[in-house]
Amino acid sequence: MFNSTRVLLKLYWADTLFSLTVQFVRSKSVIVI
């Protein structure tokens, strides 16, 4: 159970970082990809 919790936590952080990166790129880029 602890192992699966770590996996979910990693997935959560990866998704959060990805979302922040997309927002940052969109705010800084003139052309929206």
Q: Supply the DSSP string of the chain, one letter for each residue.
A: -HHHHHHHHHHHHHHHHHHHHHHHHHHH-SS--
Number of domains in the chain: 1
What amino acid is encoded at 8 in this protein? L
With cut-offs at 50, 70 and 90, classify the pLDDT of residue 2. Answer: low
Residues in the chain: 33
pLDDT in tens, 9-19: 999 999 999 99
Tokens 């959560």 sit at which residue? 12
Query: Which range marks the domain in which residue 22 is found?
Result: 1-33
Q: Looking at residues 4-33, what average pLDDT do you find?
A: 86
